[in-house]
Structure 1
Amino acid sequence: MKKNLLITVCVLTVLLTQFGLASAQGETPLSLTPAEMEDAIPITSPNIRPLVLETGERALYHVDGSELYIEVVNLSIPNNPPSSPSLAATWTTTQVCGVNAYVSGLLVAVLVNRANVTYYTSTAKAPARWNWYDLKGTKTNAVGFSWVGLSQTSSPGVGVKFNSSGWVQAQGTLNRCLAGVCGPQGYFVSYLTDVTQGAVGKSDKIGAWTKPN
């Protein structure tokens, strides 16, 4: 299968306040290795960081001065993609945009944005249509953490063919309770889009991060 057949756009926005985190689906490791943490891409300021991720690729960030590691993941599960280019070819895939969030190397929360899409040509580009989408796999993985206000939206709606661009967005707030005190720890948005130009990956916008005392 040609590699460029399954390229998608994965834009993940993570706005963090105190102890924010987030993640993806599949066999997510419960912890990072020392080597992985050492090789993580350092983030020193809360700016947008462009990142191109092709299908199956991952990128691990480390927020400087904190114990937070954010792994961006871009996945696609093809269903009968065409074996040769054809304007008449249609095929379906389930795309996933999410991230794994780790504190001190341990997985703490997961946000998964899944969308099933049908393409009307032999490549992963519009024109296409969204068939369904869900948050399957979204979870917290540490005591005291919980998701609040999880939701998904799309443009256009399910079953509507789009010729230029379309997107599915997942969002939610991560809460944490510690010693009887509870509060929001971060607001997360995962943005998955398909366009006529194919995949143009972008990555995290990380907002205010304060290292816990």
Structure 2
Amino acid sequence: MTGAPTPTPAQPHCPITEKIVTRGVIAILRAPTAAHFPAIAETLLNAGIHALEITLTTRGALRCIRDLTAAYGPDALIGAGTVLTGSQAQECADAGAAFVVSPVVAPDVVRTARAAGMAAYPGALTPTEIHAAYRTGAPAVKLFPASAVSPRYLSDLNGPLPGIPLIPTGGISLTDIPEWITAGASAVGLGTPLIGAAAAEGVDGGLADRGRRALAGVCEARTVR
């Protein structure tokens, strides 16, 4: 059979995802405790990064989400990461999270998130997983772990799976960002390459600069593209 592939049907408009895609960066905060997260949040928000993912593997994550949401309101998108069950998604919604991110395809997480008005980004790697993730009703899919593949892989996916917004996450360096965006990434998720040791040791003098470099990488690629 010849001809162009049938475009993947778009999900209903998601304002949260639209805001994330506009700047193109999700900062991922993971540590034994959330003690340093408020200071990191303030630094990154001042640098221009407004989407922050607080992982549930961090002690005090839900309280941190609640506090940051209350402190910054619409100026920030505070979400939760490593969300694996519907009950966890509901706890995140109760804490005020704007979005939830999973390392796997968990349909109950997406259903709960949608019912609560949150965006949900399930994690997937293979074409079959990505297609299944999008069919849950998620507005975008987390390509994870991005370090296992390459920007060329993402570009190749756009051929048979057009119209699925992908957010590569895991092992992306600041210098890699333009290549991923050029390949078609809607946004990137950045952990250690952006946060450095700040999540465990406190804000360092280079955090704000790394945040600005990440945003500049997105802008650079979109201008060229």
> What TM-score results when the alignment is normalised by the length of structure 1?
0.28
Which fold has the larger relative contact order, with Cα–Cα distance below 8 Å and residues 6 or more apart in sequence? 1
Structure with the higher helix share, 1 or 2: 2
Structure with the higher strand share, 1 or 2: 1
